[in-house]
């Protein structure tokens, strides 16, 4: 299925009270907190990245998902939001798909993990992502819905970001001097524990 993905992220100080705030704001729990692993694939010279595209295999809660994202057409863009065209499908066997990617010249270039809790309000989605470098929430829906939900959740526009987890990780690496290559709990914890 192909859809226009419109979203905003914002940092969350503590996931437990935020979860209650989301429920009080009218969101319904869709998926309990689950470990999600993501692997991005690209050519060795990063051709997809140069075209601002991603090719991702995701595993969570027993599901395997193949996703391709690309930049939306200029007419679809609203500078206040991250807008991408997303094509996504469920897979039976992500290992088989990874082998297909390898045979086509696409190898794994970046892995990231998070514990994700999903909510819905009917008109849009809210996810709570506990990553190795912090907790983030993400609203996905129509721009006017996102604005209304930010107000309902008492989140200021200045607190929002359109950055990907890859960009947030690169910023964290610069700030901390980390040599971690992937945004995984094991790699980031190993970096934090090094004296």
Domains in the chain, number: 1
User: Is 1 inside a domain boundary?
Assistant: no
Answer whether 85's CB lies under 8 Å from 63's CB.
Answer: no
Tokens of 89: 């499908």
Is 18 domain-assigned? yes
Helices (H), the chain: 15-24, 47-50, 94-103, 143-152, 165-176, 185-193
Does 25 fall in a domain?
A: yes
Range in 106-120, 138-152, 160-174, 181-195 with the lowest mean pLDDT: 181-195
What is the C-alpha separation between 55 and 42, in angstroms, rounded?
7
- Check pLDDT > 90 for residue 74: no
Does residue 2 fall inside a structural domain? no
Residue 71 belongs to domain with CATH number: 2.40.320.10
Predicted model pTM:
0.90
Q: Is 157 domain-assigned?
A: yes
For residue 111, tell me if it sits in a domain: yes
Q: Which domain holds residue 131?
A: 8-193
Is the pLDDT at 195 greater than 50? The verdict is no
Number of other residues whose CB lies within 10 A of the CB of residue 47: 12
């Amino acid at each position: 299925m192909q859809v226009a993905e419109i979203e905003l992220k914002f940092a969350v100080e503590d996931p437990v009270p935020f979860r209650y705030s989301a429920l009080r704001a009218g969101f319904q729990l869709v998926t309990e907190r689950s470990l999600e692993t993501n692997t991005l694939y690209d050519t060795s010279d990063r051709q997809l990245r140069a075209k601002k595209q991603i090719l991702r295999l995701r595993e969570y809660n027993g599901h395997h998902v193949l996703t391709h994202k690309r930049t939306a057409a200029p007419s679809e863009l609203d500078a206040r939001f991250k807008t991408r065209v997303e094509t996504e499908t469920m897979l039976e066997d992500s290992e088989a798909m990874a082998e297909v990617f390898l045979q086509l010249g696409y190898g794994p270039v970046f892995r990231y993990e998070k514990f994700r809790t999903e909510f819905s309000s009917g008109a849009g989605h809210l996810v709570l992502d506990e990553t190795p470098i912090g907790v983030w929430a993400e609203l996905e829906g129509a721009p006017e819905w996102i604005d209304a939900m930010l107000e309902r959740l008492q989140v200021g526009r200045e607190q929002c970001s359109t950055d990907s987890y890859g960009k947030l990780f690169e910023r964290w690496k610069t700030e901390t001097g980390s040599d971690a290559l992937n945004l995984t709990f094991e790699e980031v914890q190993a970096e934090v524990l090094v004296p």
